Chain A
Amino acid sequence: MDTLKSYLEEHAAGDLLPWHRQLEASRSFGLTIAETEEAILAHGLLPARYQRNRTTIPQAGQRELFHSQVAVVGCGGLGGYVIEELARVGVGRIVAIDPDVFEEHNLNRQLLSTPERLGTSKVAAAARRVGEVNPAVTLVPLRRAFSRDNGGELLAGSRVAVDCLDAVASRLELAEACSSVGIPLVHGAIAGWYGQLTTQFPGEATLQAVYRSRSGGPGVETSLGNPSFTPAVVASLEVAEACKLLLGQGTTLRGRQLIVDLKSMEFTVINLKE
């Protein structure tokens, strides 16, 4: 590996390693793109693609993200954008969980959906997209429906779960599973012009408070539908929460809920503790 180290040092511009050098290093040393990325970060360098992350995420943080696994539960309106942003920011391993295929009514908002992909698996589309966008990121596609029974298995190895589901009952099961395996959960939900966001830590019954212990039934989204912009907003807020959890930076929505109203353009934070 000394020769790899020499190669990286020789070809870095300052502390940045350009993409074509990362590719060349992978070919020359018989490594995957991910293995090369690991080596670049381990040597205190930065793949050049992350140079605009740098003020927000220091080099050590970029390394932390690369060594992190995040579970994205649901790959529809929220999940598509969440996966895109996690991959671009440099989270090393993303587990995408969704049993569904694309349907025509997804096309108005779901980033991964295209007319050509109607009838094909959402998690397979996620894997293809991440392979195109950031080949250093491993996307693990799991074409499974999340439930209380398989939750522990599907979340194994993930440091954070991001709730991108579309039903209250399964969201509550996810919250319970996250508490059982001891990881934080970033929750987001949308309907029409509106969205909500919170972060649950293990042992905190945050989602039960949000849904007032209701076991099922849809929310107002069944009548309001979902336009293109609301999932993009709420998904981005979820990724910001997930990154803070992975990096140990900033203040999350732990114990609080954000209500997003894009029609009145109001962002309201309420306390969930009392």
Chain B
Amino acid sequence: MTVTVKLFASFRTGRFEVKTADYPAGTTVGDVVDSLALPRADVGIILINSRHAELDRPLAEGDNLALFPLLGGG
């Protein structure tokens, strides 16, 4: 299945802004996060087609996945 992944802020460094790629059926958000070598603890907001989702959520054909880092500094 084809999924478009959009990365925000520090997640872009050494990766990409937007990329459409093929993933096996049953791939979850967490699998994509792992495949991009993003520490799961660094992941803040996750949007699938502009709706909030969690790491265990399976992706579907044509989904747009957006990943934002968790920022806590002040």
Question: Which residues of A pack against B, CB within 8 Å?
Answer: 74, 76-79, 163-168, 171, 188-196, 209-212, 214, 217-221, 224, 226, 231, 257, 259, 261, 263-264, 268, 270-272, 274
Q: Which 5 A-B pairs have the closest CB atoms?
A: A221-B73, A219-B72, A166-B74, A194-B9, A219-B70
Known pairs A74-B74, A167-B72, A219-B73; A212 contacts B8 (CB<8 A): no
Interface size class of B (residues with CB under 8 A): 20 to 34
| Residues of chain B with a CB closer than 8 A to A193's CB | 9-10
Q: Mark B17-35, 1 if CB is under 8 A from A, else 0.
A: 1000000000000000000
Q: Is the CB of A220 within 8 A of B50?
A: no
| A71 CB, nearest partner CB in chain B, Å | 14
Decide if A188 touches B45 in the complex (CB within 8 Å). Answer: no
Is A274 touching B72 in the complex (CB atoms < 8 A)?
no
Known A167-B72, A171-B72: A219·B44 in contact at CB below 8 Å: yes
Considering the complex, give the chain B residue whose CB is closest to the CB of A268: B8
Per-residue A-contact encoding for B33-52, CB less than 8 Å = 1, 0 else? 00000000110111100111
> Residues of B contacting A261 with CB < 8 Å?
8-9
Contact A194-B74, Cβ < 8 Å, known A212-B45, A220-B42, A257-B45: no
A262: nearest residue on chain B (CB-CB)? Answer: B9
Q: Identify the B interface with A (CB < 8 A).
A: 8-10, 12, 17, 41-42, 44-47, 50-52, 54, 66, 68-74
For A220, give its contact among B12, B51, B69 (CB under 8 Å).
B69
Contact B74 A189 (CB under 8 A): yes
List 15 contacting pairs A-B, 8 Å CB cutoff, sorted by A. A76-B74, A163-B74, A168-B72, A188-B74, A191-B69, A195-B71, A209-B52, A211-B44, A212-B46, A220-B42, A221-B71, A221-B73, A226-B73, A268-B8, A274-B52
Check B69–A194 contact: CB distance below 8 A. yes
Q: Is the interface of A mostly helix, strand, loop or mixed?
A: mixed
* Closest chain A residue to B12, Cβ basis: A264
Asked if B8 and A220 sit within 8 Å, CB to CB, the answer is no
* Nearest CB of A to B22, in Å: 26
Bound complex: CA A191 to CA B50 (Å): 24
Per a CB cutoff under 8 Å, which of B10, B47, B52 touches A194?
B10
Given A221-B72, A263-B12, 7 more pairs with CB closer than 8 A? A163-B74, A171-B72, A191-B72, A212-B54, A219-B42, A257-B45, A261-B8
Is A190's CB under 8 angstroms from B9's CB? no
Which chain B residue has the least Cβ–Cβ distance from A216? B72
> How far apart sit A211 and B69, CA to CA, in the bound complex (Å)?
10
Residues of A within 8 Å of B51, CB to CB, are: 274
- Do the beta carbons of A166 and B72 come within 8 Å of each other? yes
Asked if A220 meets B68 with Cβ closer than 8 Å, knowing A209-B52, A210-B45, A259-B9, the reply is: no
Q: Once the chains bind, are B68 and A259 in contact (CB under 8 Å)?
A: yes
Complex: how many Å from CA A164 to CA B72?
A: 10
CB distance from A187 to the nearest CB of B (A): 10
Give CA–CA (A219, B74) in the complex, Å: 11
Q: Which residues of B contact A268 (CB under 8 A)?
A: 8
Contact B45 A194 (CB under 8 A): no
